[in-house]
Amino acid sequence: MKTVKISLNSIDKVKAFVNDVTKFDTDFDLVSGRYVIDAKSIMGIFSLDLSKPIDLSIHGENAEEVLEALAPYIVQ
């Protein structure tokens, strides 16, 4: 499992993010405080506080490939 911080601070970014993660056959979780949401659920993402970075947990073997595809959302 790999965890990175991402920023989804606009509606368009959320839509693009969900489209990008659904291309992978891997499980993704978004963790914000005590809430854990499936990253492929657009409604779940909108239930989170998107004003600050969120932890993205990638459960799979191909984490490096996923990180390349999700680079625009990753916060350093």
pLDDT in the model for residue 28 = 95
pLDDT in the model for residue 73 = 95
pLDDT along the chain (76 residues), means of 10: 94 96 94 94 94 93 90 92
Domain 2-73 has CATH 3.90.1300.10: no
Query: Could you give phi then psi for residue 56, rounded to 5 degrees?
Result: -110, 120
Tell me the C-alpha distance between 32 and 73, whole Å.
16
pLDDT in the model for residue 61 = 85
Query: Could you give phi then psi for residue 6, rounded to 5 degrees?
Result: -125, 160
pLDDT in the model for residue 62 = 85
Tell me the C-alpha distance between 57 and 15, whole Å.
18
pTM, rounded to two decimals: 0.91
